[in-house]
């Protein structure tokens, strides 16, 4: 049986000076003779139990990290658009190739000589719920996988993004019993046959307000589902009420059919 390698280079020990999430998302440059910027995962990738492949959030985060490593530190992200074509395996390394599409320099000079700048500015208000007062550390009181911790603050706020679709119909994608005690015991198990992300867009409004060492409040909703697809929208606020990001995700959703569909008869 051939040996598989989960990383291109030997895996270094975890850096205890970094947060767990930093180690997971860390990238290593791959030397190239053609000058192209290529990076690969430093540590083995996380494959959640029951999923078809590597956790998509890891791929998004590492893709963004690769792009940021290939541009000057003064360049900030304003949006990111991702399409998931096939499931990625955790048994082989992943390589991120960064292409420079446009290197044109754009600058903004903020010299208004005391004049008030006219801008359009508005945002959705943060839901009127309290966030945890303790520091954002893994305490075991919320739901977490070792990288994140989340807590349900209100019945209208979900702890999963794509999962907003199945919870809207009180379904569960897991075999009975559900794998976590947070799942509603009244959910109808095994009704979903396939659920997979198709695309994911992230709009970062206020990057300077993002704090990785503090809680962020997220609200999720699904405005539409049909034709074996579903759409979910997520808004993320800082603890002081600044809308820092808006995310939109489209997913493929197929339910288990207990009877043969008429068009297949």
pLDDT digits (tens, 9 = 90+) for 189-238: 557 888 888 999 999 999 888 877 788 888 999 999 999 999 999 999 99
Residues 135 and 94 both lie in one domain: no
Residues 141 and 83 both lie in one domain: no
**113 occurs within a structural domain:** no
CATH number for the domain that contains residue 30: 3.10.129.10
pLDDT digits (tens, 9 = 90+) for 109-124: 444 444 467 888 899 9
Residues 66 and 169 both lie in one domain: no
Is 153 or 197 the better-scoring residue by pLDDT? 197
Which domain, by its residues, includes 229?
A: 129-179+188-258
Residues 138 and 250 both lie in one domain: yes
**22 occurs within a structural domain:** yes
Residues 7 and 67 both lie in one domain: yes
**195 occurs within a structural domain:** yes
**115 occurs within a structural domain:** no
Is 98 or 150 the better-scoring residue by pLDDT? 98
**118 occurs within a structural domain:** no
Domain total in the chain: 2
**117 occurs within a structural domain:** no
Residues 93 and 147 both lie in one domain: no
228: left (phi over 0), alpha (psi -120 to 50) or beta: left
Residues 134 and 95 both lie in one domain: no
Residues 90 and 133 both lie in one domain: no
Residues 85 and 147 both lie in one domain: no
Residues 91 and 159 both lie in one domain: no
Whether the pTM exceeds 0.75: the reply is no
Is 149 or 114 the better-scoring residue by pLDDT? 149
Residues 58 and 139 both lie in one domain: no
Closest CA to 198 of 88, 83, 89: 83
**1 occurs within a structural domain:** yes
Residues 93 and 139 both lie in one domain: no
**248 occurs within a structural domain:** yes
Is 80 or 149 the better-scoring residue by pLDDT? 80
**Is the per-residue pLDDT at 45 higher than 80?**
yes
């Amino acid at each position: 049986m051939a040996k598989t390698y989960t990383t291109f280079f030997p895996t270094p020990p975890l850096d205890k000076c970094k947060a767990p999430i930093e180690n997971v998302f860390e990238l290593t440059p791959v030397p190239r003779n053609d000058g192209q910027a290529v990076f690969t995962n430093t540590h083995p990738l996380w494959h959640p139990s029951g999923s078809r492949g590597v956790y998509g959030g890891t791929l998004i985060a590492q893709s963004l990290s690769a792009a940021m490593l290939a541009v000057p530190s003064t360049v900030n992200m304003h949006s990111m658009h991702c399409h998931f074509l096939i499931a990625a395996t955790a048994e082989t390394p992943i390589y991120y190739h960064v292409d420079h599409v446009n290197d044109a320099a754009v600058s903004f000079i903020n010299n208004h000589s005391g004049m008030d700048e006219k801008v359009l500015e508005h945002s959705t208000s943060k839901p009127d719920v309290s966030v945890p007062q303790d520091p954002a550390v893994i305490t075991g009181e919320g739901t977490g996988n070792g990288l994140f911790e989340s807590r349900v603050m209100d019945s209208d706020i979900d702890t999963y993004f794509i999962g907003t679709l199945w919870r809207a119909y009180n379904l569960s994608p897991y075999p009975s019993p559900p794998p976590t005690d947070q799942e509603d015991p009244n959910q109808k198990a095994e009704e979903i046959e396939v659920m997979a992300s198709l695309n994911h867009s992230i709009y970062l409004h206020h990057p300077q307000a993002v704090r990785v060492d503090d809680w962020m409040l997220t609200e999720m909703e699904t405005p539409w589902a049909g034709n074996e697809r579903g759409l979910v929208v997520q808004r993320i606020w800082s603890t002081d009420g600044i809308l820092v990001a808006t995310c939109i995700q489209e997913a493929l959703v197929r339910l288990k059919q207990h009877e043969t569909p008429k068009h297949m008869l």
